[in-house]
Amino acid sequence: MNYKGVLKNLSYLTILQIVNMVLPLITYPFLIKTIGSNNFGKVVFFQNLFGYLAIIISFGFNITGAREIGRCNNILDRNKVASSIIFSKFILLLTISLPSFLILKFNLFSLEKELIEIAIYSMWNLLFEFFLPIWFFQGINKLKYITILNVLLKLILTVLIFTLIKGKNDNLLFVKLNLYTTIVYGIGCFYFYKLESFFFVKIGLNDLKERFRASYVMAFAYISNAIKSNFSIVLIKPLIGYQNIAYFDMAQKVVNIFTNFLDLISQAIFPIILKTENIDFLKKIIKISVILSLFISTINFLLAEYIVRILGGVEMSKSIIYLQLLGLNYTPYIFAALIGRNCLIVFNRDFEVLKSMFFSGLFFIFFIFFIYVIKPDDPIFYVIIAILTSNIFEAYYRFLKAKTFLKW
């Protein structure tokens, strides 16, 4: 087994995720202090909304695309798969961004002018997902290029935030800076495609149909699953204010650092498991990951107050309990991720992954409906409980479906 390849892939993914998670946390205290928690909550709300719509553009290609690219034996076949994915994502980008822009432009929801501008520029999330090439470079086991590009642009963005953001009215400028760096990111991605001998291959309608057919299961799975993350705040917005959104967002940002770190393990071993189908190796990784996740949950719970005080000060104290509760999600999350991606998907049981996410998402929506019925003083607390219980269900369901392959 190519353990060196696994470690190399893991190292680049680790750097990528650390930069994506840590740099926003470095700017977080500055943004809360300068823009204010209420104004920052407005930005977070629309970023979550378009972040959810961006998942539709990804359409599961980050998984199925990497799988198909990894199985290609020559450059022409690889470029044909890549061309069909890029064109498919472009169709989805237009399908979502044009109606969204028109809805905002004609203000069909009677929003304030400030919110409309924030929403329009927050559509950078859609553009970023279109450009995101991790499926291609993970498929060929070469994540070096996009890691360097991502790190460089995130560092530049961080410097620009500290340099240009001056007061409470600069929340729109913050969103614009994200859009500008995303455009540069897209240009850089296509340059690195060229370095790997990529060229567009003519594709037909049947190729697009095949691409959507191969990915629709994962697409609906991720759309269903994202209801519990990006879209949860959008669902309960009528019950909470923008300031409460900022409280929840802080807790999510911290938890996402460790969640994405754990997920790196699943992503890094995916190409290897895909080619070798080495279940013994997978079982060892699962055991190590569960132990590691329990350790991280304990540290998260004990240091939650200290972390919140550093990032947001006393003003963000309400985030402490949210952070402690969300930290309990590490173990069911990584357990479900490893079994789903590296067992069920590898053995072409994509539909079982979809079913687990669908039922989990359905349970979560029923819980949200319950929150609307009882109208509790702290709706976010109940949202987090819904996230935890639905993820535990999802992990258990996948375990039952994977027992035959894992031989547990």
DSSP 59: T
* Res 303: pLDDT: 96
Residue 57 pLDDT > 90 = yes
Tens digit of each residue's pLDDT (9 = 90 or more) over 309-326: 988 888 889 999 999 999
Q: Are 55 and 125 in contact (CB under 8 A)?
A: no
CB 203 within 8 A of CB 83: yes
| Dihedral angle sign, alpha carbons of residues 56, 62, 67, 71 | positive
Helix-strand-coil split of the chain, %, nearest 5: 85, 0, 15
Per-residue pLDDT reduced to its tens digit, 168-213: 889 999 999 999 999 999 899 888 888 888 888 888 889 899 889 8
Pairwise CA distance, residues 158 & 319, whole Å: 23
Are 363 and 393 in contact, with CB atoms under 8 Å apart? yes
pLDDT value of residue 4:
64
The alpha carbon torsion through 197, 199, 202, 203 (nearest 10 deg) reads 70
Mean pLDDT on 112-118:
93
Domain boundaries, the chain: 1-218, 227-408
pLDDT digits (tens, 9 = 90+) for 328-347: 999 999 999 999 988 998 88
Signed CA dihedral, 155, 28, 313, 310: sign only = negative
pLDDT at 8 over 80: no
User: pLDDT by residue (tens digit) across 336-388?
Assistant: 999 998 899 888 888 898 889 888 888 898 999 999 999 998 999 999 999 99
Higher pLDDT, 362 or 5: 362
